[in-house]
Amino acid sequence: MIIGSHVSMSGKDMLLGSVKEALSYGANTFMFYTGAPQNTRRKAISELKVEEAKALMKENNIDLKNVVVHAPYIINLANTVKEETFELAVNFLKQELQRCQDIGTSILVLHPGSHVKAGEEVGLQQIIKGLNEVLKDTPYQGKIALETMAGKGSELGKTFEEINYLISHCDYPEKLGVCLDTCHIHDAGYDLSNFDAILDEFDRIIDLDRLLVVHLNDSKNVQGAHKDRHANLGLGEIGFDILNGIAHNERIKDVPKILETPYIDGKAPYKEEIDMLKNQEFRNIEV
């Protein structure tokens, strides 16, 4: 099982600190942002302690190809209402791909975007336009993993069909994959109780080979709520047994699973949740 969580990258140790945090959780992979997700301020790659981080990863059998970068939330390729927002999204995403290339990671998770009341078709076409602009000259050797979304507000990417539309209409489909978020697809209306059926549908519509990452999260909302509120494993509407089954599903055993569950009393729950998955036994960590 390739399992980890979102980790921070801050303080004097930067990416080295991210690796240390992941190891403290008993993880063998992790996901990080190359800077704050809500702004464009970025430290130079030379300040991130990348080589020290890679050395520690090698010592502890963390494979860099399984390490995930998440693009900042402020990137919205679907925006047609404000041209400057679209241009910022394109330019900043180009920079993020360059940073991933410089660090050596090969998976960048991206929220497809929100159409901001311009309509789904308009938004989808704008995302395709943005992806084409970003990917046409990129030095990035990895792939962008478009994340499945809950359908909150005007979010796009809420169905496998929408994700497939983006991939199949982009000029560079070989550069695109998918990040499947369990909370998001549950909130979008998918029934996770038979996950193999979900994988069959994914394979039929998109192609299972494009599944690059799984975000393993429970949901605070009922199926189809379109709200996107993550819950800790076993403490939401999906339930531990289903999520544990997904984590151990043989068909996606080589796909990194990343926890993005909420902190409890200001503390990360990931060590306990990873331990639960390793032992396949639920414990109520809120108690």
Per-residue pLDDT of the chain (287 residues; tens, 9 = 90+): 999 999 999 889 999 999 999 999 999 999 999 998 888 889 999 999 999 999 999 999 999 999 999 999 899 999 999 999 999 999 999 999 999 999 999 999 999 999 999 999 999 999 999 999 999 989 999 999 999 999 999 999 999 999 999 999 999 999 999 999 999 999 999 999 999 999 999 999 999 999 999 999 999 999 999 999 999 999 999 999 999 999 999 999 999 999 999 999 999 999 999 999 999 999 999 87
Q: Which helix (H) or strand (E) holds 22?
A: helix 14-24
Q: Is 228 annotated as a binding residue?
A: yes
Tell me how far apart the alpha carbons of residues 243 and 226 are, in angstroms, rounded to a whole number. 19
Q: Judge contact between 107 and 141, C-beta under 8 A.
A: no
Q: Is 184 annotated as a binding residue?
A: yes
Question: What SS3 state is found at 115?
Answer: coil
Q: Is 186 annotated as a binding residue?
A: no
**Which CATH code is given to the segment(s) 69-254+261-269?**
3.20.20.150
Q: Is 181 annotated as a binding residue?
A: yes
Q: Is 215 annotated as a binding residue?
A: yes
Q: Is 260 annotated as a binding residue?
A: yes
Question: Within 13 Å, how many C-alpha atoms sit on residue 219's CB side?
Answer: 26
